[in-house]
Structures are given as structure tokens and as C-alpha cells.
Amino acid sequence: PREEVAYVTCTYRETGIDQPDFLATIDLNPRSCNYGQVIHHLPMPNLKDELHSSGWSAGNTCFEDCTMGRKKLILPSLISSRIYVVDVGTQSHAPRLYKMIEPVDIFWKCDKGYLNVPHALPNGDVLIANMGDPAGNGKGGFIVLDGESFELKGNWEKDCEVPPTGHDFWFQPRHNVLISSAGLVLKRAGPAFNPDDLHKGVFGRRLNVWNLSCRTLIQCFDLGEDSVPFSVFVGGSILRGGPVTVCRDEELKSQPEPLVIKCKTVHGGPYKMQLSLDGKRLYVTNSFCSSWDKQLYPDLVREGSVMLLIDVDTKNGGLCVNKNFLVDFGKEPCGPALARDIHFPCGDSTT
């Protein structure tokens, strides 16, 4: 089925606006009078969580059980280490908070913190990658939530050496393998990106291979100096009139013009992306991380981020920005917000 709504995590951290993060519900039905608009806000009960990634309580690997479905959305907090479970099954256009797991529970039970990417395991439990320990020291690994009660079960990995940093992951049950990527040591990282940190051990540079069923680390790949297998995003600083001047370019004669959609200048570039089930519509947001946004794209923080639609030509190939679609998070009632992860209740390419 075609996507009719999208759930987007949004944060106010580092924006100067003292408001809680929220989950935005976007109307994606082209026949609706509210198409491309935020139709519902679910504010979190705390400040400065930094909602970032999100994931379903059940993925495609769980659907051999017909009773399971995409009814709960898991929202880990990158900075506060709090976990929110949101009920989207009761009212898809008006989600509500179902459960909250406090950081202290995670600190004491798991000795983990700084939570990032969640995915549903084949057995129905929810796996969440962590980036450090409670003090901000580097520490990879995962924590597990029960897939029905959403109680914190503890650490996922068995008694083995955990990676020095962690960030993202994905798994392939048929091959009994899970791959996780490196992150950064938050305690040693400054308030913004510093290239010198690449040589100071602030960023990890490994890809880690796990035995999925045994929950053990079996292999590590060091990608070498200056490598940061972290996240991929498209920078947007090298523009005409932008803060970066190109002295030599072997491909272009001049710097490209800024992207403007419906009179809104789009700062930065795509980070979080979500593809429709038919592969024809790619939705993107342009906020990467609040502290890095503030450093690299200050106009984005002042004016708020956006959600765009890129049309995909599945017959001839090619991508084209849809100039008629714009979700402007700069017009939020509480002030400009930074939008991140995107999910559709009907199913999406990342679950």
C-alpha cells in the first residue's frame, strides 16, 4: 500500500528553544487537504533528549507471527539515554506515549548509555545500539527490550569483549550475522566537529561482525587511518554564496546554486532517508546532529529543517527533487525544529 502518513522524530536540543522533542505525524495522502503538513505533535515529557533514530517494535523478520505488526514505535534518546515507546496502532494519525524507560534503569542494569539505532529482532525483541557507558566513555554493544512488555531485559551480547565504540547496525538472519559500525567517544569529543579528533582516538574506525544467534563478536575490520564508518550524509556547504569557497574543481565551472523549494532555502543536505515500498518516492530530512548542525549549518538551526520528496524514475533511472512538496519544520508552533528519522506504518525500506 502507498504511505499515507509518516512519523518523524524532531528535536529542539542546541536550538536555543527550551521545548521538549516531539514526534511529528505528516499527512502523505495526495488527496488530503492536509497533504505535506504536520497534522499531529506528540511532545516528550522531558527536555533535551535529542531524539534521533527510531524503529518499529516488529519488523519484516517478525511477521511470520500474524499477531505482530507495526503498532509501537521505539524512540531512543541519543543524549539523555531515555527510551520512549509510542503507540501508533490505536490512532495512527494521533500517536500517544505508551511507555518510558528512564536512563537510571539503563545505567544500573546495563552500564550503557547514549542510545542510537533500534531494530526488531527475529524473535520479536527490540535491539538498541549504544554509543558509550553512562559517563560518556566509548563502549559499543546493545541493549534489549522485551518485544511485548517493552521491559528492559539487559545487555544483548554475551560475556565477550565489546567494541570500543558503537553507532549503527543491521543483521541478516539467513546468514546468522550482525554488522555494527563504529561511533565516537562522546566524553572526549568537543561540542562540535574537529578534524584533529580523527587522530586522537575520538572516532572509531572499525566494522564489527557478530554471530547473531550466539550474540558474540567474531571479527573486526579496521578500516584504517582517517576512516570514520559512522553515518553517511550529503554535505551542503559548497554552494554559491555559501561559507566554503572552492579553489579548484575539476568537474564544475562554478559552485552550484542553493536549493530553494517553495521559497524556502534548503540548508545542508539529505541525512535521514526513507524509500516508499514501491521504490518511487524517497523522503529525506536534512538535520544530522544538533551540535554539528549548529557548527556547520547555523542557518538550518535558525530556520528549521525540512522534509523533502525526491521522485525516483524506476523505469529509466534517475532522481528528481519534487518542487511541489515541502514540510517546513521552521514553522512549528514552538519555533524552528530539527527533523530526523522517518517511518511509515504501512512498511518502509529500512524495516
| pLDDT < 50: residue spans in the chain | 62-63, 66-67
Q: How far is CA 48 from CA 22, 74, 81, 214, 323, in A?
A: 11, 17, 11, 36, 33
Q: In the block, which residue shows the cell 520479536?
A: 124
Looking up residue 303, the CATH number of its domain turns out to be: 2.130.10
pLDDT at 349: 76
pTM of the model: 0.91
Query: Does some domain include residue 311?
Result: yes
Residue 349 lies in a domain: no
Looking at the 3D structure of the chain, how many domains does it have? Answer: 1
Q: In this structure, is residue 175 part of a structural domain?
A: yes
Question: For residue 117, is it within any domain?
Answer: yes
List of long-range contacts for 188-196, beta carbons under 8 Å, 24+ apart: 188/138, 191/291, 192/291, 192/292, 192/294, 192/295, 193/292, 193/295, 193/296
Task: Calculate the dihedral angle through the C-alpha atoms of 75, 78, 81, 82, rounding to the nearest 10 degrees.
Answer: -30
pLDDT at 67: 45
Containing structural domain, residue 39: 5-343
In a domain, residue 348? The reply is no
**Does a structural domain hold residue 259?**
yes
Residue 350, in any domain of the structure: no
Residue 351 lies in a domain: no
Measured between alpha carbons, how far apart are the two ends of the chain, in Å? 15
Residue 189's alpha-carbon distances to 51, 56, 117, 163, 284, in angstroms, are 19, 30, 20, 18, 27
pLDDT of residue 193: 82
